[in-house]
C-alpha cells in the first residue's frame, strides 16, 4: 500500500514538474500598446503624428516647437517684443533671451533643440514605416512628401536657431547605435543642412497635390513651394525664390485676405491667404492647440487688480515697434492691444467686446493681439481650456510670398514688380503706394520695413534681421547687449554637448 | 497530467489513516535553568501534530500523548527542548536561555535551517522587537538592527522605506529587497501588520538569495506571520496612541530678513509689509497616530488558527493628509493525518489614503515670500501673483483626493510526507489588489473672491473630478520536493521544485469638469458630459523557474550548500529570457572540532564562505518592444482632430538581466555560554549590466530623453560586524547591549562601452548634478568646486589662468570663485569635479535592552557617515523674489564683509557647485521605550496572562550636519539619489500603549 502511494506521488510530481509550463507560458505580449507589428494603419497614423509635433509646446519638459520657447526665441529676442509680464517672472529663462544674457544652460534654448529633434525623429519614424507600408504609390509619395516637408521645415528652423546641427535622417536602432554613429553626435555644416532642407522640400513640391486637391491643413504643393522659396531666400538664391514664388502666385489659389485684422482670428483660419498654418481644433472633448500659446501671451493683471486676467502677459509688443508704425497703418491695431493709460479709466475694449481695465490694474502697456483668442464661445470656439486655446498659427502666408517675390525681383533688378508687390501689401494696410522712383538700398529697406510691420509678432523678425545682416545694428539701436558673431545663434544646449561626450561643438562666443 | 491522476492521488493520501497507539497523560513543570523561576506561558506541543498546551501560572502543564511521540517545549528567548515520551508521569523540565547562534532557526527560502548550519550571511529579527517601535511598516523597525542592512525611510504616511542590503546593488525599480511573506514573493509589504509578524529573516549574501535567482539581487527579507498553537486559546490586544511632528524644519527668513534679501537680489524695493508668514507653520501640524491590534490564536489536536485584526490611523503632519489601514488576517493549519498537512493564510487589507500633493506643498512653502499672508478672513494671500509661486495652503485645501486600496493576499498549501524525510509541498499564493482613486479639484478663480489681490496663475477655472480604478491579480504556484536523510555522520537535505507566476493588471480612469462641490455628488455622472475624457490600460507578465538545493553536513563540523535556479521571464526578450543562478557555500564549525573542546569559553565558532550569482528582472514589460503612442492627433481644417500616433520611446532590443556575483566570508561566534555573540563578515559584490534609464542625446528622438539599457557595472565591497553582550545579572536584572557596523565601498567598474551617465537634474539651470563614471561611486555628485567669494573687482581681475586670461570676467563682487580645473581660462562643465556620493562609507546601529524587575528599557541608535547630499531645494531658486533660508539671509556676502561661503543676494540660477553639496552624516536616537509589566499575580485573578504598558519615542533626536530637512532621502534611481528637493521631513513620534495577553 505505502509503496504505491510513493510511486503515485512521485509520478505525479514528475509530471507536474515537467509539463506544467507549456513553452508559450512566457510569451506574453505587451498589453494596451500597439507595436509596430500589430498596428495595420501605422504609417498613416505616424504621418498624422508628425503633424501633431507642430503643436508641441512643453518648454519646461519634453520640448517645444511652437510654444513659449519658440515665442521667446523668435519674437521676444527681436526688437518687436519684450519679455513683458512682471519683472521677475521668468527672468532667468525668457529674460535672459530678451537681454542676450543666455548661456548654454538656458532652459528654452534646450527645449527648442529637444522639441525639434523629437519632431525630426517622428518624421524619420514615419518615413521608415512608409517605406514598407502597403499603400498605392501616389498616396505613399504624397505622405512621404508631407513628412519630408515637415522635416525640412524643422531643419530650416534648426539651422536658423543653431547653425549647422547633427543631420539625423534615419531612425537609430538603439541608443548605442546613435552613440557610435558620428552623424548623430557631430554637427553637419550649414551648407549640408540646407541641402537636406532643399532635398526634402523639393520632394514635397514634386509629390504633393495643390491646395484645393487635398485636405485643408495638409502640406500641399503651394506650401512646399512657398517654404522652399523662403529657404532659397536665406541662401540668397534669388532666381529660385522668384521662380517658386511666381509659381505660387500663378497657381491662382491664393490671395491676400482683404481684412488684415481677421488673419489671426478664427474667422481668418485657412483663408485664401493661408499657406502654412498650424491647425487647432478639439480632441478628447477639450481645446486642442499649441500648448500655452495664448495663455503665455494673455494680458496680465497688475497694480490694483480687480479683474480676472487672461494670461501671464509675456511677449509684449515693444514701444519701438508700436510707435514706429506709419500713420494710418491698420496693422498696428490688429497687432497690438494697447492698454488705456489715459487716466480716464475707459479701459480697452477688444473686438469681441471684452474689456481690459486701464493700466493701473494691468501689468504691461501692450499685449500681442495676434495671440488673443476670445473666451466668448459665440465668437470663437472655446471649451474652457486656456492652456490649449484654438489659435491657429500662421507660419507662412501669401503676403510673405508677395514680399519674397518683391525682394527677389529687386535683387534680380525687376524694380517695378518689387514695388507693385509691396504696394499690394501696403494697400491692404490702408497705406499709400511707395514712391515709384525707389531703387537700390532704399527700395531694399522699404521691402524689409514692410516685412517687419506685415509680420510683426509672427516669429519672423529675428531670423529676418539676421538674414539681412542687420541684427547687430538693429538690436544695438534697440539698446540690447547684442554681440555680433555670437548672438545670431542660440547656444547648443550644454547637456547635449555633455551627452555627446564633447563631440558636439558649441557655437562661437558661448 | 490528467486530472484523474491528481484526484486519485489526493483520495488515497487523504483517506489513508494512521494506526492507533497507546496514550499517556503527562504532567510537568517548566522553569528557568538558572533561576529556577517558573515559566508561565511556555508552549508544549506534540511534534508532528497540532496537539499542544501552555504552562499555567505556576509553570505546570498537562497533556495527552501517544507512546513514542515527542514533546517540543519552547518559550521565547529560551532554547527549545524535545522530549520523547515512553511512559506517563511528571516531568521537571528546565529551559536554558537560548544561544542565538546554536538554535536559532532561520527561514531560508523554500525551507528552514538552524542558523548554525547555514553557510550564507543571514540575520533574524523577532516580531516583538519590531512591535516595540511605533512605525507603520515593519521594515522601518529593522533600521539599525542588522549589519549590512540600510533602511531609508520617509515620514510620509503609507510610504514604504527603501531596504538596501549591502550597498546599492541594482539600479532599476528601486533598490529595495525582495520580500517573501509566508512563502509568497512580493515587492510590497505595506499591507502586513507588524503585530502579525513572528520573525523577519534577512538573507544578505548571494549564496542565501540564489534560491530566489532573478529576484534575489537586492537581498531577501522573509516574513513569517503568526500561527496558532494547540491548547489554550490566547488573546492579545496591543495598541499605541501618539503624536507625530516634524523633527527638524529648515528655518526660513522672516518678513524683514526676506525683504532685505529680496531687495538686494532684485534691485527692486521689497517692503516687509504687515504680514510675517511662516509657511511651514501654515501647512504643518501635530498629527495623531494610533494603532490597535487584536488577535486570537489557538487550536485543537487537528488544527490551529490565528486570527488577527488591526486598525491603524496616521494623520500626516501636512494639512489634510491622512492614512487609515484596516487589516484582517486568518492563518489556519490542518493536520489531516500523520502525513498530510494543509493550511491557508489569508490577509485582507483596506487602506484609505487622503493624499495631498506634497511635492507642490513643500516646494511652495519653501519658496513663498513671508510678506504674503496665507489666509486672511477666508481669502488667500496671492503668492502666485506676487512671485509665481502657488499658495501652499490654497493648494492643499482645493484638492480633495482619496485613494482606497483593497488587497487580499492568500496562500494555501498541501504538504505530504509519505515516508520519513521525504516531503512534497505544493503552495498556491494569490494577491488581489483593487484600487479606487478620486481626485476632486474645487473651482476658484484668480479674482478677489479667492484672493486678497487678484491675478497670477493659481486658478482652477472649472471644477473637475477624476476617478480611476485598477485591478490586479497575481498568482504564484510552488511545487517543492524535499528529502532529508542521514547516514552515520553524513546528513543530507535536498530540495527541487518549480515555481510559476503570472500577473495581470487592468486600469481605467475618467474625468469630467463642472462637478458640483458637494461630496455626495462626486461621481462622474454629475459632471458636464461634454468635458468627458477617459483612459485605460493594462499589463501582464509571467515567470517560470526551476529550483534545487543540496545541504550536506558532516558531523556538524563541515557544511556544504549548493543551489541552482533557472529563471525565465516574459519581461526579457526571447533570446535573453532564461538565466541560470548558481551558488555554493562552505561552512566549518570550528567549535565542534576536538581541538577546540578544551577551550571552554567558546560555545560556537563557525567560519563560512560562499559564492553565488543572482539577478534582477524588474524590467517594465514593454522595455524591449517598440510600442506606438496613440492619440497624438491633428485637427486638419479645424474641428475634431484626427488621431495619429508616434514612436516616442526608443527601446533597447538586446535588454538582458542585471546579474550580481557575490563572494562572502564570515565568522560567527558565540562565547561564554552565549553571553557574547555576533558575526564578522566580508563581501565583494559585483553587479553587472545594471539596467539604468540613461539620458540620451535629443538626436536619438526619445521623447523623455532617457532609454532603459544595461548601462553600467558596479562593485560593492564591504565589511560588517555585529557584537552583542547579554547577561542575566540576577533574577531581577538582565540586559543586552549590541552594536553593528557596516563599511561599504561602492564604485562603478564598467560602463558597457557607453558614455558616463549624467543624472540628477534640478531645474533652474542645473541640468545635471551627478555623473556615474568608472572608479567612482554610482551617482557621484559632479559639480564645480567653489573656492570662495570674490570680495572686490580687483580679485576678479586677479583671478587669471596661466596665460593671463581673466577666468570669470562676467563675475561681480560677491559671486563665487570657481576652480578652473582644466586651466583653460574659463569656467564651464569641463571644470566639474567629483565630490562624493550618497552611498555611505559606513553605517551602524547600537541597541540596548535592560530589564529590571517589572521594568524594561530599550533604545536604538542608528547612523551613517561618509556620504554627501545635495541641497536641491536651495538650488531650485527660480526668482529673486523666492524666499531664502534664514542662514543665507543673515550670512550673505555684502561689500566689505569678507564672507567666503555665502554669495551676495541673488536671483538663483547658480551653477551646480559644492555650495549645494553637504555632509550626509547623521546619528539618531531612533527609539527609546520604557515599559512596565504588571505583576502576574495581580493579573491572574483577571485571567490576564501578561500586561505591559509602555511609553515610546521614535526618531527622538538626530544629530546631522545637513542644513536641509533630512539626509535620509528616497529616490527611484541610484544615479540620482541623495538630492533633497521636496523631501517630507522625518517625523518624531511619541506614543504610549498597552500590550495585554489573555
Chain B, nearest residue to A385 by Cα: B461
Over range B2-24, report the average pLDDT. 46
Give the helix ranges, DSSP H, for A345-439.
398-411, 415-428
Over range B523-536, report the average pLDDT. 92
Q: Is the pLDDT of residue B34 over 80?
A: no
Q: What is the pLDDT of residues B54-89, one digit of tens each?
A: 787 778 888 888 777 888 887 766 777 887 777 777
Is the Cβ–Cβ distance between B914 and B785 less than 8 Å? yes
Please list, in sequence order, all residues whose beta carbon lies within 8 angstroms of the beta carbon of residue A485, skipping any fewer than 6 positions away.
A508, A509
Instruction: Work out the mean pLDDT of chain A and round it to a whole number.
Output: 92
Distances (CA, A) of B379 to A269, B279, B382, B393, B445: 42, 16, 9, 11, 12
Over range A365-384, report the average pLDDT. 94
Q: Is the pLDDT of residue A1 over 50?
A: no
Q: Does A13 touch chain B (CB under 8 A)?
A: yes
Please list, in sequence order, all residues whose beta carbon lies within 8 angstroms of the beta carbon of residue A14, skipping any fewer than 6 positions away.
none
Are residues B569 and A26, on separate chains, in Cβ contact within 8 Å?
yes
Are residues B636 and A218, on separate chains, in Cβ contact within 8 Å?
yes
CB interface of B with A, residues 474-503, below 8 Å? 477, 479, 481, 496-498, 500, 502
Question: In the prediction, which pLDDT does B986 show?
Answer: 79
Lowest mean pLDDT across A422-426, B329-333, B618-622: B618-622
Over range B367-383, report the average pLDDT. 94
Q: What ipTM score was computed for the predicted complex, to two decimals?
A: 0.94
Chain B nearest C-alpha distance from A286 (Å): 7
Q: Which of A3, A13, A177, A215 to mutate to test the interface with B (most CBs of B within 10 A)?
A: A13
Q: Does A188 touch chain B (CB under 8 A)?
A: no
Question: In the prediction, which pLDDT does B226 show?
Answer: 87
Q: What is the pLDDT of residues B301-311, one digit of tens each?
A: 788 999 999 99
Provide the pLDDT confidence category of residue B103 given band limits of 50, 70 and 90.
Answer: low
Question: In the prediction, which pLDDT does A212 show?
Answer: 93
All three cell numbers of B952: 515610546
DSSP B269-303: -----S----HHHHHB--EEEEEEEEEEEEE-SSE
Provide the pLDDT confidence category of residue B8 given band limits of 50, 70 and 90.
Answer: very low
Over range B323-342, report the average pLDDT. 91
Please tell me the distance from the alpha carbon of residue B442 to that of residue B463, in angstroms, as a whole number: 5
Q: Does B424 touch chain A (CB under 8 A)?
A: yes
Are residues A279 and B577, on separate chains, in Cβ contact within 8 Å?
no
Is the Cβ–Cβ distance between A108 and A94 less than 8 Å? yes
Q: Does B574 touch chain A (CB under 8 A)?
A: yes
Instruction: Give helix A238-250 / helix A221-234 axis angle, nearest 10°.
Output: 160
Count CB neighbours of A393 within 10 A.
21
Question: In the prediction, which pLDDT does B878 show?
Answer: 84
Q: Is the pLDDT of residue A16 over 60?
A: no
Chain A, nearest residue to B880 by Cα: A88
CB interface of A with B, residues 156-185, below 8 Å? 166, 168, 171-176, 178-179, 184-185
Distance of CA A449 to the CA centre of its chain: 23
DSSP A60-104: TTTEESSSHHHHIIIIITSTTEEEESSTTTTIIIIIHHHTT---T
Is the Cβ–Cβ distance between B149 and B204 less than 8 Å? yes
DSSP B444-456: B-SSTTTBSS--S
Over range B674-695, report the average pLDDT. 89
SS3 at position B975: helix
Q: Does A47 touch chain B (CB under 8 A)?
A: yes
Are residues B5 and A8, on separate chains, in Cβ contact within 8 Å?
yes
Q: What is the pLDDT of residues A20-46, one digit of tens each?
A: 545 688 888 888 888 877 777 889 999
Q: What is the pLDDT of residues B718-738, one digit of tens each?
A: 999 999 998 888 878 989 999
Q: Is the pLDDT of residue A415 over 70?
A: yes
CB pairs under 8 A between A and B: 346
Chain A, nearest residue to B504 by Cα: A31
Single out the residue of B711, B705, B706 nearest to residue B692, CA to CA: B711
Chain B nearest C-alpha distance from A190 (Å): 17
CB interface of A with B, residues 199-258, below 8 Å? 215-218
Chain A nearest C-alpha distance from B760 (Å): 12
Please list, in sequence order, all residues whose beta carbon lies within 8 angstroms of the beta carbon of residue B459, skipping any fewer than 6 positions away.
B444, B445, B446, B450
- For residue A270, which residues of chain B lie inside 8 Å, CB to CB? 637-638
Is the Cβ–Cβ distance between B180 and B225 less than 8 Å? no
- For residue A6, which residues of chain B lie inside 8 Å, CB to CB? 418-419, 422
Chain B nearest C-alpha distance from A164 (Å): 14
* % of chain A with per-residue pLDDT over 70: 95
Question: In the prediction, which pLDDT does B100 show?
Answer: 55
Contacts of B445-450 with CB under 8 Å at 24 or more apart are B445/A308, B446/A301, B446/A308, B446/A309, B446/B382, B446/B384, B446/B385, B447/A307, B447/A308, B448/A305, B448/A306, B448/B379, B449/B379, B450/B379, B450/B380, B450/B394
Please tell me the distance from the alpha carbon of residue B796 to that of residue B249, in angstroms, as a whole number: 37
Provide the pLDDT confidence category of residue B20 given band limits of 50, 70 and 90.
Answer: very low
Q: Does B898 touch chain A (CB under 8 A)?
A: no
Element (H, E) at B235: strand B231-246
Question: In the prediction, which pLDDT does B463 show?
Answer: 94
Count CB neighbours of B20 within 10 A.
7
Provide φ and ψ at B632, rounded to 5°.
-95, 90
Single out the residue of B643, B631, B632, B634 nearest to residue A218, CA to CA: B634
Provide the pLDDT confidence category of residue B134 given band limits of 50, 70 and 90.
Answer: confident
Question: In the prediction, which pLDDT does A458 show?
Answer: 97
- For residue B532, which residues of chain A lie inside 8 Å, CB to CB? 285
Is the Cβ–Cβ distance between B683 and B661 less than 8 Å? no
Query: What's chain A's length in residues?
Result: 510
**Which residue in the set A52, A107, A174 is minimally distant from B650, CB to CB?**
A174
Are residues A26 and B702, on separate chains, in Cβ contact within 8 Å?
no
CB interface of B with A, residues 642-701, below 8 Å? 642-648, 650-654, 694-701
Q: What is the pLDDT of residues A51-88, one digit of tens each?
A: 999 999 999 888 999 999 999 999 999 999 999 998 88
Q: Which of B471, B547, B634 to mutate to test the interface with A (most CBs of A within 10 A)?
A: B634
Q: Is the pLDDT of residue B4 over 70?
A: no
Are residues B533 and A34, on separate chains, in Cβ contact within 8 Å?
no
Q: Does B704 touch chain A (CB under 8 A)?
A: yes
Q: Does B535 touch chain A (CB under 8 A)?
A: no
Question: In the prediction, which pLDDT does A6 show?
Answer: 58
Over range B482-492, report the average pLDDT. 90
Chain A, nearest residue to B627 by Cα: A35
Q: Which of B5, B635, B822 to mutate to test the interface with A (most CBs of A within 10 A)?
A: B635
Chain B nearest C-alpha distance from A239 (Å): 33
Identify the sign of the CA torsion B609, B663, B486, B78: positive
All three cell numbers of B269: 524695493
Question: In the prediction, which pLDDT does B333 show?
Answer: 92
Q: Which of B455, B534, B537 to mutate to test the interface with A (most CBs of A within 10 A)?
A: B455
Find residue B479's DSSP bridge partners: B426, B498
Q: Does B159 touch chain A (CB under 8 A)?
A: no
Chain B, nearest residue to A499 by Cα: B697
**Which residue in the set B416, B696, B764 is minimally distant from A9, CB to CB?**
B416
Are residues B638 and A217, on separate chains, in Cβ contact within 8 Å?
yes
Q: What is the pLDDT of residues A119-169, one digit of tens each?
A: 999 999 999 999 988 889 999 999 999 999 999 999 999 999 999 999 999
Q: Is the pLDDT of residue B6 over 50?
A: no
Q: What is the pLDDT of residues B842-873, one digit of tens each?
A: 999 999 999 998 899 999 999 999 999 999 98
Provide φ and ψ at B581, rounded to 5°.
-125, 100
Q: Which of A2, A31, A292 to mutate to test the interface with B (most CBs of B within 10 A)?
A: A31
**Which residue in the set B445, B477, B638 is minimally distant from A279, CB to CB?**
B638
Name the DSSP letter for residue A161.
H
All three cell numbers of A78: 527681436
Chain B nearest C-alpha distance from A440 (Å): 42
Provide the pLDDT confidence category of residue A8 given band limits of 50, 70 and 90.
Answer: low
Question: In the prediction, which pLDDT does B565 show?
Answer: 92
Count CB neighbours of B698 within 10 A.
27
All three cell numbers of A198: 532643399
In B164-193, which positions are buried (b, 16+ CB within 10 angstroms) versus exposed (e)?
bbbbbbbbbbbbbbbbbbbbbbbeebbbbb
Find residue B295's DSSP bridge partners: B236, B308
- For residue A303, which residues of chain B lie inside 8 Å, CB to CB? none
Lowest mean pLDDT across B227-231, B282-286, B531-535: B227-231
Are residues A174 and B622, on separate chains, in Cβ contact within 8 Å?
no
Q: Is the pLDDT of residue B751 over 50?
A: yes
Please tell me the distance from the alpha carbon of residue B501 to that of residue B495, in angstroms, as a whole number: 19
Q: What is the pLDDT of residues B600-626, one digit of tens each?
A: 888 889 999 999 998 888 788 788 888
* % of chain B with per-residue pLDDT over 70: 95
Are residues B538 and A19, on separate chains, in Cβ contact within 8 Å?
no
Question: In the prediction, which pLDDT does B2 show?
Answer: 41
Instruction: Work out the mean pLDDT of chain B and round it to a whole number.
Output: 87
Please list, in sequence order, all residues whose beta carbon lies within 8 angstroms of the beta carbon of residue B137, skipping any fewer than 6 positions away.
B153, B159, B160, B161, B189, B190, B194
Are residues B541 and A28, on separate chains, in Cβ contact within 8 Å?
yes
Amino acid at each position: 500500500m505505502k509503496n504505491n502511494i510513493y510511486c503515485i506521488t512521485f509520478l505525479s510530481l514528475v509530471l507536474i514538474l515537467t509539463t506544467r509550463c507549456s513553452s508559450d507560458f512566457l510569451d506574453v505580449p505587451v498589453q494596451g500598446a500597439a507595436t509596430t507589428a500589430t498596428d495595420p494603419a501605422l504609417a498613416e497614423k505616424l504621418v498624422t503624428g508628425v503633424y501633431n509635433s507642430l503643436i508641441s509646446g512643453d518648454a519646461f519638459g519634453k520640448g517645444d516647437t511652437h510654444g513659449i520657447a519658440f515665442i521667446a526665441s523668435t519674437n521676444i529676442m527681436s526688437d518687436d517684443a519684450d519679455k513683458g509680464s512682471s519683472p521677475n517672472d521668468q527672468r532667468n529663462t525668457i529674460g535672459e533671451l530678451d537681454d542676450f544674457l543666455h548661456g548654454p544652460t538656458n532652459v528654452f534654448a534646450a527645449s527648442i533643440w529637444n522639441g525639434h529633434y523629437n519632431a525630426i525623429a517622428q518624421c524619420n519614424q514615419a518615413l521608415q514605416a512608409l517605406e514598407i507600408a502597403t499603400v498605392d504609390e501616389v498616396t505613399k509619395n504624397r505622405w512621404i512628401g508631407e513628412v519630408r516637408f515637415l522635416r525640412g521645415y524643422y531643419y530650416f528652423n534648426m539651422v536658423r536657431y543653431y547653425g549647422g546641427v547633427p543631420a539625423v535622417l534615419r531612425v537609430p536602432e538603439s541608443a548605442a547605435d546613435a552613440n557610435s554613429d558620428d552623424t548623430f553626435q557631430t554637427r553637419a555644416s550649414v551648407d549640408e543642412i540646407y541641402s537636406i532642407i532643399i532635398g526634402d522640400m523639393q520632394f514635397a513640391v514634386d509629390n504633393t497635390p495643390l491646395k484645393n486637391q487635398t485636405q485643408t491643413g495638409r502640406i500641399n504643393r503651394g506650401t512646399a513651394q512657398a517654404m522652399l522659396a523662403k529657404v532659397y531666400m536665406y541662401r540668397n538664391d534669388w532666381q529660385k525664390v522668384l521662380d517658386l514664388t511666381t509659381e505660387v502666385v500663378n497657381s491662382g489659389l491664393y490671395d491676400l485676405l482683404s481684412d488684415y485684422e481677421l488673419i489671426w482670428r478664427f474667422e481668418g483660419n485657412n483663408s485664401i491667404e493661408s499657406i502654412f498654418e498650424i491647425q487647432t481644433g478639439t480632441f478628447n472633448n477639450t481645446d486642442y492647440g499649441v500648448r500655452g500659446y495664448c495663455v503665455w501671451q494673455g494680458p496680465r493683471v497688475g497694480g490694483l487688480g480687480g479683474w480676472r486676467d487672461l494670461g501671464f502677459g509675456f511677449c509684449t509688443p515693444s514701444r519701438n515697434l508700436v510707435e514706429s508704425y506709419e500713420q494710418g497703418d491698420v496693422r498696428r491695431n490688429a497687432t497690438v492691444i494697447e492698454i488705456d493709460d489715459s487716466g480716464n479709466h475707459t479701459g480697452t475694449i477688444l473686438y469681441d467686446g471684452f474689456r481690459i481695465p486701464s493700466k493701473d490694474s494691468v501689468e504691461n502697456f501692450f499685449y500681442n493681439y495676434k495671440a488673443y483668442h476670445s473666451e466668448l464661445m459665440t465668437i470663437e470656439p472655446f471649451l474652457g481650456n486656456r492652456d490649449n486655446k484654438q489659435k491657429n498659427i500662421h507660419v507662412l502666408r501669401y503676403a510673405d510670398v508677395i514680399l519674397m517675390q518683391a525682394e527677389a525681383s529687386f535683387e534680380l533688378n525687376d524694380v517695378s514688380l518689387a514695388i507693385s508687390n509691396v504696394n499690394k501689401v501696403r494697400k491692404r494696410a490702408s497705406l499709400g503706394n511707395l514712391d515709384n522712383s525707389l531703387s537700390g538700398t532704399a527700395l531694399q529697406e522699404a521691402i524689409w520695413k514692410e516685412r517687419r510691420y506685415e509680420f510683426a509678432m509672427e516669429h519672423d523678425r529675428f531670423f529676418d534681421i539676421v538674414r539681412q545682416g542687420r541684427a547687430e545694428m538693429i538690436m544695438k539701436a534697440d539698446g540690447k547687449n547684442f554681440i555680433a558673431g555670437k548672438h545670431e545663434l542660440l547656444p547648443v544646449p550644454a547637456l547635449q554637448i555633455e551627452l555627446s561626450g564633447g563631440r558636439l561643438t558649441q557655437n562661437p562666443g558661448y | 497530467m490528467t486530472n484523474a491522476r491528481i484526484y486519485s492521488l489526493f483520495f488515497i493520501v487523504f483517506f489513508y489513516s494512521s494506526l492507533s497507539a497507546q496514550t499517556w497523560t503527562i504532567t510537568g513543570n517548566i522553569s528557568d535553568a538558572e533561576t529556577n523561576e517558573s515559566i508561565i506561558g511556555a508552549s508544549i506541543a506534540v511534534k508532528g501534530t497540532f496537539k499542544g498546551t501552555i504552562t499555567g501560572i505556576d509553570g505546570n502543564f498537562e497533556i495527552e500523548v501517544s507512546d513514542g511521540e515527542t514533546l517540543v517545549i519552547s518559550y521565547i528567548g529560551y532554547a527549545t527542548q524535545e522530549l520523547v515520551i515512553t511512559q506517563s508521569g511528571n516531568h521537571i523540565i528546565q529551559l536554558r536561555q537560548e544561544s542565538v547562534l546554536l538554535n536559532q532557526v532561520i527561514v531560508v527560502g523554500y525551507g528552514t535551517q538552524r542558523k548554525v548550519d547555514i553557510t550564507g550571511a543571514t540575520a533574524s529579527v523577532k516580531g516583538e522587537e519590531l512591535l516595540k517601535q511605533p512605525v507603520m511598516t515593519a521594515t522601518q523597525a529593522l533600521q539599525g538592527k542588522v549589519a549590512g542592512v540600510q533602511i531609508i525611510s520617509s515620514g510620509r504616511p503609507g510610504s514604504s522605506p527603501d531596504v538596501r542590503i549591502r550597498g546599492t546593488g541594482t539600479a532599476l525599480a528601486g533598490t529595495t529587497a525582495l520580500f517573501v511573506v509566508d512563502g509568497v514573493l512580493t515587492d510590497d509589504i505595506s499591507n502586513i501588520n507588524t503585530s502579525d509578524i513572528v520573525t523577519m529573516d534577512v538573507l544578505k549574501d548571494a549564496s542565501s538569495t540564489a534560491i530566489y535567482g532573478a529576484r534575489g539581487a537586492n537581498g531577501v527579507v522573509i516574513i513569517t506571520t503568526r500561527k496558532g498553537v494547540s491548547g489554550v486559546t490566547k488573546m492579545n490586544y496591543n495598541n499605541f496612541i501618539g503624536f507625530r511632528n516634524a523633527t527638524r524644519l529648515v528655518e526660513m527668513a522672516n518678513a524683514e530678513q526676506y525683504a532685505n534679501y529680496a531687495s538686494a537680489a532684485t534691485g527692486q524695493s521689497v517692503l516687509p509689509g504687515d504680514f510675517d508668514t511662516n509657511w511651514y507653520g501654515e501647512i504643518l501640524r501635530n498629527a495623531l497616530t494610533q494603532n490597535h491590534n487584536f488577535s486570537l490564536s489557538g487550536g485543537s489536536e487537528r488544527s490551529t488558527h490565528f486570527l488577527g485584526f488591526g486598525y491603524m490611523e496616521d494623520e500626516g503632519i501636512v494639512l489634510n493628509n491622512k492614512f487609515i489601514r484596516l487589516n484582517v488576517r486568518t492563518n489556519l493549519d490542518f493536520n489531516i493525518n500523520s502525513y498530510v498537512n494543509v493550511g491557508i493564510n489569508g490577509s485582507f487589507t483596506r487602506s484609505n489614503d487622503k493624499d495631498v500633493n506634497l511635492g507642490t506643498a513643500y516646494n511652495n512653502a519653501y519658496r513663498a515670500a513671508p510678506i504674503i499672508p496665507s489666509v486672511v478672513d477666508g481669502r488667500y494671500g496671492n503668492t502666485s501673483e506676487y512671485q509665481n509661486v502657488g499658495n501652499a495652503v490654497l493648494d492643499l485645501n482645493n484638492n480633495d483626493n482619496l485613494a482606497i486600496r483593497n488587497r487580499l493576499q492568500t496562500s494555501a498549501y498541501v504538504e505530504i510526507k509519505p515516508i520519513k524525510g521525504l516531503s512534497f509541498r505544493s503552495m498556491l499564493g494569490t494577491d488581489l489588489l483593487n484600487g479606487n482613486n478620486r481626485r476632486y479639484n474645487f473651482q476658484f478663480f484668480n479674482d478677489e473672491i479667492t484672493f486678497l489681490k487678484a491675478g497670477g496663475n493659481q486658478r482652477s477655472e472649472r471644477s473637475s473630478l477624476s476617478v480611476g480604478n485598477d485591478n490586479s491579480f497575481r498568482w504564484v504556484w510552488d511545487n517543492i520536493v524535499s528529502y532529508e536523510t542521514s547516514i552515520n555522520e553524513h546528513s543530507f537535505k535536498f530540495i527541487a521544485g518549480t515555481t510559476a507566476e503570472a500577473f495581470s493588471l487592468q486600469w481605467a480612469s475618467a474625468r469630467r469638469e463642472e462637478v458640483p462641490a458637494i461630496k455626495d455628488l462626486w461621481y462622474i455622472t454629475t459632471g458636464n458630459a461634454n468635458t468627458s475624457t477617459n483612459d485605460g490600460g493594462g499589463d501582464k507578465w509571467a515567470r517560470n523557474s526551476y529550483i534545487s538545493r543540496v545541504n550536506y553536513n558532516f558531523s556538524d563540523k563541515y557544511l556544504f550548500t549548493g543551489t541552482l535556479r533557472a529563471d525565465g521571464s516574459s519581461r526579457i526578450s526571447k533570446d535573453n529570457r532564461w538565466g541560470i543562478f548558481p551558488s555554493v557555500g562552505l561552512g566549518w564549525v570550528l567549535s565542534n572540532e576536538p581541538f577546540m573542546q578544551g577551550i571552554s569559553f567558546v560555545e560556537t565558532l563557525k567560519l563560512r564562505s560562499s559564492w553565488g550569482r543572482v539577478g534582477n528582472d524588474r524590467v517594465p514589460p514593454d522595455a524591449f518592444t517598440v510600442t506606438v503612442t496613440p492619440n497624438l492627433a491633428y485637427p486638419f481644417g479645424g474641428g475634431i482632430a484626427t488621431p495619429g500616433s508616434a514612436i516616442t520611446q526608443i527601446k533597447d532590443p538586446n535588454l538582458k538581466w542585471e546579474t550580481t556575483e557575490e563572494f562572502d566570508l564570515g565568522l560567527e561566534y558565540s562565547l561564554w555560554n552565549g553571553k557574547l555573540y555576533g558575526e564578522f563578515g566580508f563581501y565583494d559584490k559585483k553587479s553587472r549590466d545594471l539596467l539604468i534609464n540613461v539620458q540620451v542625446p535629443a538626436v536619438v528622438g526619445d521623447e523623455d530623453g532617457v532609454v532603459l539599457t544595461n548601462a553600467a557595472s558596479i562593485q560593492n565591497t564591504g565589511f560588517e560586524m555585529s557584537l552583542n553582550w547579554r547577561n542575566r545579572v540576577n533574577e531581577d536584572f538582565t540586559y543586552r547591549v549590541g552594536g553593528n557596523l557596516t563599511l561599504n565601498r561602492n564604485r562603478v567598474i564598467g560602463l558597457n562601452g557607453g558614455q558616463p551617465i549624467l543624472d540628477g537634474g534640478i531645474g533652474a539651470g542645473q541640468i545635471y548634478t551627478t555623473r556615474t563614471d568608472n572608479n567612482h561611486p554610482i551617482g557621484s555628485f559632479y559639480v564645480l568646486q567653489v573656492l570662495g567669494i570674490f570680495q572686490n573687482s580687483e580679485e576678479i581681475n586677479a583671478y587669471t589662468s596661466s596665460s593671463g586670461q581673466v577666468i570669470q570676467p562676467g563675475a561681480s563682487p560677491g559671486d563665487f570663485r570657481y576652480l578652473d580645473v582644466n586651466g583653460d581660462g574659463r569656467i564651464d562643465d569641463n571644470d566639474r569635479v567629483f565630490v562624493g556620493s550618497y552611498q555611505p562609507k559606513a553605517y551602524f546601529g547600537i541597541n540596548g535592552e535592560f530589564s529590571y524587575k517589572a521594568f524594561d528599557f530599550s533604545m536604538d541608535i542608528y547612523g551613517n557617515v561618509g556620504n554627501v547630499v545635495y541641497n536641491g531645494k536651495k538650488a531650485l531658486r527660480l526668482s529673486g523674489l523666492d524666499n531664502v533660508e534664514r542662514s543665507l539671509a543673515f550670512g550673505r556676502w555684502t561689500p566689505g564683509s569678507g564672507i567666503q561661503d555665502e554669495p551676495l543676494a541673488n536671483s538663483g540660477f547658480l551653477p551646480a557647485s559644492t555650495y549645494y553639496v553637504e555632509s550626509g552624516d547623521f546619528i539618531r536616537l531612533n527609539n527609546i521605550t520604557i515599559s512596565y509589566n504588571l505583576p502576574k499575580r495581580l493579573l491572574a485573578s483577571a485571567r490576564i496572562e501578561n500586561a505591559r504598558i509602555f511609553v515610546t519615542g521614535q526618531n527622538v533626536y538626530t544629530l546631522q550636519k545637513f542644513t536641509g530637512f533630512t539626509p535620509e532621502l528616497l529616490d527611484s534611481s541610484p544615479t540620482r539619489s541623495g538630492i533633497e528637493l521636496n523631501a517630507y521631513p522625518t517625523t518624531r513620534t511619541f506614543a504610549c500603549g498597552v500590550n495585554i495577553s489573555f
